[in-house]
A and B are shown apart, each in its own frame.
Chain A
Amino acid sequence: MVEGKSFGRRLFMACNYLGLAIFATLCIAPFINLLAISFSDRSSAMGGFVTFWPVNFTTASYNLVLSTGGFYRSFVISVLRTALGTALGMLVTILTAYPLSRTGQEFRGRGVFTWILIFAMLFNGGLIPWWLTIRSLGMLNSIWALIVPGALSIWNVILLMNFYREIPSELDDAASIDGASHFDKLFRIYVPLSTPAIATLTLFTAVGHWNSWFDGMVSMTDVSRYPLQTFLRTIVVVSDLSAMNIDPSKMALLSDRALKAANIFLATVPILIVYPILQRYFVAGIKLGAVKG
């Protein structure tokens, strides 16, 4: 490619690099600031002296959060819902995408099934009938309320269905000649060959479960049953620190701010751990999209 080397071009490139760098820094600056606050002592945090580096460094806030039972309990609930919810969600997605990827000739009734799905994407009963349904099924205060109702993601099904369709039909024909059933084909050909798509969907489903909090808020009546993000909301947004059951004497050296910040970061650690993996997968996805145009 012919690159202009004019002064104007160089000036633009310098401004572009600088501008992008400033923008990216602004995007993460709030997290750095809060991280610094979480490691600062009471008077510095309360007085608003902390910018991007801890003042009077202390880990007291983290020690306190980790020494109370509330955080652990909710953490375990979140791990459980993420594991079970992702497993169930992916199983349903893998199963549902297969018949949809077949022709209407082979899967009679495909049209009807497609319309059932499309209508569910177009229309929903809204929050209140949904909540009344959960309640009438006796799911309130049960961890299943966080796992089962959202198990079917129609968008994910469509994505995987399109992936199945990209798989060469010769493989399918050869398997049919060898007498393979649909289950054989799904689990021995389609699933193994769709690993990149399934891995991406699994990661996004898991992140979605980890991050969701509203379902926990409306389907659990007791803080002790809250998943982590709902628990975090009680502390950080509702500002109800009593949920943590802290001995007041331990708060002497600590600010509410640092304590909230510590809760936020501890709840975010799992996302930060999977973030590099997540990124690798969706960057690969972008490349795929770019090649296909």
Chain B
Amino acid sequence: MLVQRTHPVQRSQSAQSWRRMRAYLARNWPLYAMCLPALVLLALFSYYPMYGVVIAFQSYNPAFGFTGSPWIGLTNFKFIFNLPDFLQITQNTLIIAIAKIVSVQVGALVLALLLNEVRHLGFRRVIQTLTYLPYFLSWVVLGGVLLDMLSTTGIVNLTLQKMGIQPIIFLGSNDWFRPVLIVSNMWQQVGWSAIIYLAALLSISPELYEAAAIDGASHLQRVFHISLPGIASTIILLAALSLGGVLNAGFEQILNLYNPVVYSTGDILDTWVYRAGLLSGQLSLAAAVGLAKSVVSMLLIIVAWTTARRYAGYRIF
């Protein structure tokens, strides 16, 4: 009885909502059409490869594809975690990545503070133009320049020789390889990263500096009590976000600069995956390392975003 009595009401309601739906779609279907290209690209080049990580749990055979290869559970992971190489490349990755993050952020902050003291705008622009040029060049170009300048007949050893110092084989030495990576990474990044700090510094009200000057604060005091607190949220934000990148030690840079002699200090997760997978054809092992890296990276990015949101009000969408 109850059902029969409410039935006509429900029908008219559903007819009404159907009409509303059609009106909504007639007006707003373009919104969905506009998303379509992005969805297709995501499906093909993000989500299908995500599904492809199943080969990390298989003994992958290219003839059978992602679905047909035999499952072997965690065998690949057990094998990798027992490799002495794995500990070494993880350690290299973390050391190089953290050293790069710290050196670039500190360098950029110092550069921005010094540029902020420059009152001559033309001079500031020239310095900036020259310092962020390397940011727009590829690691093939920068690597080519470095390979030449650090060679035994390169400009660096030429200069050392004039100072009476024996030539150093920078890229063939485990003592020098990491310093070269860190300094050359600063060369590419510092000028660019300083832009963000400089923009934050320029947005600090000049009245604060004037008031401090009238109160007798020295220039150095003004830096520590106005400039640095004024950009503290920017510093915290960049530090928090950089956490997401501690497993990315600079694949493109290292791939162009390293050689087997410096594997013990310079081989990182990404270069290992590339060599094992695409050069040696151990696709399942390489995919397993890649998957482990992706999962840890994802957790780090989540922590980074959450921290950035809590302490600096950062939002992505």
Contacts and interface: CB of A to CB of B under 8 A. Distances in A.
A and B co-occur in one complex: yes
A252 interface: no
Contacts of A174: none
A124 B294 contact: yes
Given A30-B155, A47-B153, A271-B136, A181 B30 contact: yes
B134 interface: yes
A238 B295 CA distance: 33
B140 A213 contact: yes
Chain A CB count within 10 A is highest, among B28, B49, B140, for B140
A132 B283 contact: yes
Interface residues of B, number: 95
B219 interface: yes
A96 B34 contact: yes
B210 interface: yes
B213 interface: yes
A149 B126 CA distance: 37
Interface in A250-293: 257, 260-261, 263-264, 267-268, 271, 275, 278-279, 282-283, 286, 289-293
Interface string A36-70: 01000000001110010000000000000000000
B317 A158 contact: yes
B144 A289 contact: no
B133 interface: yes
Nearest to B218: A4
Given A24-B130, A28-B133, A126 B148 contact: no
A149 B38 contact: no
B278 A131 contact: yes
B35 A27 contact: no
Where chain B touches its partner, the secondary structure class is helix
B140 A229 contact: yes
A126 B28 contact: no
Given A16-B117, A124-B49, A129-B53, A264 B219 contact: no
Interface in B115-131: 115, 117-118, 123, 125-127, 129-131
A118 B305 CA distance: 11
Contacts of A271: 136-137
Contacts of A230: 140
B153 A48 contact: yes
Contact of B48 (A25, A98, A133): A133
Contact of A106 (B31, B38, B125, B270): B31
A177 interface: no
Contacts of A109: 32
B278 A127 contact: yes
Interface stretch (B10-18, B92-100, B191-199): B191-199
Interface in A218-256: 218, 229-230, 232-233, 236-237
B28 A106 contact: yes
A1 B145 CA distance: 44
Contact of B140 (A108, A218, A232): A232
A127 B270 contact: yes
A152 to B, nearest CB: 4
A292 B202 CA distance: 11
Interface stretch (B174-182, B235-243, B285-293): B285-293
A99 to B, nearest CB: 4
Contacts of A267: 141
A44 B272 CA distance: 39
Contacts of A100: 317
B44 interface: yes
Interface string B35-52: 101110110111111111
**Which of A29, A182, A260 has the most CB atoms of chain B within a 10 A radius of its CB?**
A182
B228 interface: no
Contacts of B277: 127-128, 131
A237 B147 contact: yes
A158 to B, nearest CB: 6
B133 A133 contact: no
Contacts of A188: none
Given A47-B153, A120-B46, A99 B131 contact: no
B141 A290 contact: no
B316 A118 contact: yes
A288 B175 CA distance: 44
A151 B144 CA distance: 28
Contacts of B136: 207, 211, 271, 275, 278
A136 interface: yes
Given A212-B138, A275-B133, A152 B42 contact: yes
Which of B55, B126, B136, B210 has the largest count of A CB atoms less than 10 A from its CB?
B136
Given A128-B273, A158-B317, A237-B147, 6 more contacts: A2-B213, A27-B131, A48-B158, A107-B31, A212-B138, A275-B133
Interface of B: 24, 28, 30-32, 34-35, 37-39, 41-42, 44-53, 55, 62, 65-66, 111, 114-115, 117-118, 123, 125-127, 129-131, 133-134, 136-141, 143-149, 152-155, 157-158, 187, 191, 195, 198-199, 202-203, 206, 209-210, 213-214, 218-219, 251-252, 255-256, 270, 273-274, 277-278, 283, 286-287, 290-291, 293-295, 298, 301-302, 316-317
28 contacts: A1-B210, A1-B213, A12-B117, A19-B114, A25-B130, A27-B131, A34-B148, A92-B41, A106-B28, A122-B298, A122-B302, A126-B293, A127-B273, A128-B277, A128-B286, A129-B49, A129-B52, A129-B55, A132-B62, A132-B283, A133-B49, A152-B45, A161-B317, A182-B34, A211-B136, A233-B256, A236-B140, A290-B202
